[in-house]
Amino acid sequence: MESPAALQSPEQLVPNGSAGPARRRRYGHTMAENDKPTGAPGPGNEGERIAKLLARAGIASRREVERMIAEGRVALDGVKLATPATVLPSLRGITVDGQPVASAERTRLFRFHKPTGLITAEGDPAGRPTIYAALRNALPPGTPRLMPIGRLDLSTEGLLLLTNDGEFKRALELPATGVPRTYRARTFGEISQAQLEDLMEGITVEGMRYSRIDANLERRTGRNQWIELTLAEGKNREVRRVLEHLGLKVSRLIRTAYGPFVLGDLRPGGAHEVEREALERFRSSLTRSAPNAKSEPREPAAQGSGERAASRPSRGPQGARAPRRGPDPGTGPRSSPGLGPRSGPRSGPRSGPGRRNP
């Protein structure tokens, strides 16, 4: 599929798995003494791995860049590179699919409200529409090529973050980073809060181990209920598989938050860029919390456009949660399209499905 219009013209981009020019970014960091990969040119082996440089430049994720190199699509001064461990001081002279890599922009981050019925991919062999079809009309002219952070499947809607920085994308996707994702699920079946509390210890479903999930039973009507779940791994179809394992049928799933960034009142198919200051604050907090990422998922403290409050309401002695805070600055009322506003403590009945959508 062609790269999304309104990002840049096709001749300026290199979509994953397709031909076309790319962009470049120059870096001058020095490799650690104990990290000396083969094929490292230049005096003193100064520089960074080519796969890392191209990922940071937004060409593709590091793993995808490694595949591109293995396929012979990346060259230096006309000579195809043999290994992604090649170290370079910059991307000068690098081509992808025969096209020079252009200068990369600063790291940017966008919130996108993915509707149902769209594939989170560049293209689909079955011809189904992708997120880039919606992004054509959602992003302003001059927006760089963007890559989704994580994925939402065809029938899942809600918040999808997009960035032009492959390294930043990878950092947010790694379970070890501990960035929480919050979903709201409309389900049918019998379930109790006590059963949901057990998910805090993790659960194994058909041989797959899922780490702790913070789940809260919300508004219930008969055997239908809304459940909010926060997790830090984001494995493939994790929420659906866990809830189905508990005997529930999921009829709607909406992601409402990724780290401190929330869906808010962003309309379906709409996109909004996170303010530069908010993005840098989040990246700083991500770096500080990295050593403790494996212990307990934490939400980086950040506010601003599309961000949520820095701390979560704590649970009471009986597992009830304290009332939520008010709207975050820059996001507007914390409501979701088609879902009524929440009211009262998390543990009490709701007047509507809630403000966040999984």
Active site residue 153: yes
| CA 83 – CA 141 distance, rounded (Å) | 36
Instruction: Phi first, then psi: give them for residue 175, nearest 5 degrees.
Output: -60, -35
Eight-state DSSP code of residue 313: P
| CA 202 – CA 213 distance, rounded (Å) | 6
Task: Provide the H-helix boundaries in 187-305.
Answer: 193-197, 238-245, 276-289
Does residue 150 contact residue 173 with C-beta atoms inside 8 Å?
A: yes
Helix (H) or strand (E) holding 215, with range, is strand 213-221
Query: Terminus-to-terminus CA distance in the chain, angstroms?
Result: 28
Does residue 307 contact residue 328 with C-beta atoms inside 8 Å?
A: yes
Helix (H) or strand (E) holding 62, with range, is helix 62-70
| CA 307 – CA 58 distance, rounded (Å) | 23
Strand partners, 187: 225, 250
Q: Tell me which of 77, 153, 165, 265 is the catalytic residue.
A: 153
Q: Which amino acid is at 310?
A: A
Alpha carbon of 292 to those of 86, 285, 312: distances in Å?
31, 12, 18
Which residues are known catalytic residues?
153
